[in-house]
Chains A and B, each alone.
Chain A
């Protein structure tokens, strides 16, 4: 269960920086993310009134989000060493 890790934790290989105000809420990144760790806000909007993605634990630094985003919203970082972080692996394609 949970790949030998502690329950309620997930292996994280990287992270992203999200330029929230550049986002136009198209949600391409949500489906593109293979581990499904991007979720759209529900209520919160950016300075232009668009909902935007949030990152939950489990990023693999695969760059799918940065490659698919039409608005250049993402920077992607790969950790030198993967780290376990608290969080249940969400199902891919999860929205709010």
Chain B
């Protein structure tokens, strides 16, 4: 007896024969293909999907230029139906600044990881925020350098084990994490700063509302916006895939706490 028989599972190998409408396709319109080589349970594709769906909902796809940093998520830079400019590790905010200053009617969005934005590129995001550049920076924060195999970044939390903090991050040996969204929110040029997560459907929905607010802040010309999105990285956390959502809440999310840190009120969508 197959598992399907045992559970009296419903056939899911084709569209329903009953009258029905499609409410979510395999991939959103702005993602070309769902196939990728990222790890099982990786949070980054979830965040990319969320961002692309918000861009589509706001009908911004014909104005968007997405500037990608370097990390596992770079796998999506040649897989989107929005214009993409590939930047170097840490350097997306200055590149997005050049795009937006040259073409102010575009919607400039960066997609960066925590290693990219907070380790290598901390200066770039802080200066862009201070200048109040009308760009939206999106940070996929999993607290590790995932693509290189799981090393400590500036956001790795105390006690978190990585290949460069084998006994757990120690404040004396390794210093303390930088809470990037909190840091940016203190800059006068920052107009919208939110921190979400993708470890539950509810968090994904909340994060999408933050992304919407951030993009509306940009299109209103109200200043710099940042959405930090906590993502799962069971490989870089050296844990079982199925434990990643709760590990995120218990470890990363306990330090990098979720919520809206700043909002000058330029957005019109529903509050997260």
Contact = CB atoms under 8 A, between A and B. Distances in A.
Contacts of B31: 72
Contacts of A55: 9-10, 12
Contacts of B41: 24, 26-28, 70
Interface of A: 14-20, 22, 24-28, 31-32, 34, 39, 41-44, 50, 54-57, 59, 61-81, 83, 85-87, 96
Given A27-B241, A50-B40, A71-B45, A63 B23 contact: yes
Interface of B: 2-4, 6-10, 12-16, 18-27, 31, 34-36, 38-46, 49-50, 198, 200-201, 204-205, 241-242, 245
Question: Closest 6 A-B residue pairs measured CB to CB?
Answer: A72-B34, A26-B41, A64-B201, A24-B40, A54-B9, A66-B24
Given A78-B21, A87-B8, 15 more contacts: A14-B20, A15-B16, A22-B34, A24-B41, A25-B40, A26-B40, A28-B41, A39-B9, A61-B23, A70-B38, A75-B24, A77-B16, A96-B3, A96-B6, A96-B7
A18 B13 contact: yes
Secondary structure at the B interface, as helix, strand, loop or mixed, is loop
A78 B12 contact: no
15 contacts: A14-B20, A22-B26, A22-B34, A24-B41, A25-B40, A39-B9, A44-B2, A44-B4, A56-B7, A57-B10, A61-B23, A68-B204, A76-B23, A80-B20, A85-B10
Contacts of B241: 25-27
Secondary structure at the A interface, as helix, strand, loop or mixed, is mixed
Contact of B15 (A27, A54, A75): A75
Contacts of B3: 41-44, 54, 96
A54 B14 CA distance: 13
